[in-house]
Amino acid sequence: MGSLVTATCQCGVDTSIMIGGGMADFMTTCYFPCLCEHCCTVVEVNLLAKEKRCPQCKTTKVIPYDDPALSECAGERTVASWNMEEQLGRELKLTDGNYRCPQCGQMTLRFTDSGCWD
């Protein structure tokens, strides 16, 4: 069972993104929010895919939002986490801190917990 988060910014970005995988595909699928540098949007990318691509424009210029370059500073509370130590060598984690918005470029993008999916 995965998590669902919402990415919002004061500039108008408002999108829901799945994190993790479902019971049937968790060995081959790990969705996580990424910044698409080509589309300038938050997209859902399978980090276990051989080639990590934007689902909209198909570019490989996507950056997962756990990359320190996309965060001003870690927030106090974890919004979502997914243990990928074995597959990716790290725990995927989003906090309630500020992240770089792909649309306006400011560190004003926020993630909030929106529930679970299966």
What pLDDT, on a 0 to 100 scale, did the predictor assign at position 116? 67
Query: Higher-confidence residue: 109 or 1?
Result: 109
State the residue range of the domain holding 40. Answer: 2-117
Nearest Cα neighbor of 1 from 43, 35, 40, 29 is 29
Convert the pLDDT of each residue in 74-109 to its tens digit: 889 999 988 888 888 888 999 999 999 999 999 999
Distance CA 41, CA 77 (A): 24
For the chain, percent helix, then strand, then coil, each to nearest 5? 5, 45, 45
Token pair in block for residue 22: 């479902």
**Dihedral sign (CA 90, 94, 95, 98):** positive
Are 44 and 19 contacting, i.e. CB atoms less than 8 angstroms apart? no
Distance CA 54, CA 64 (A): 11
Distance CA 14, CA 94 (A): 16
Total of domains in the chain: 1
Phi/psi of residue 20, nearest 5 degrees: 90, -155
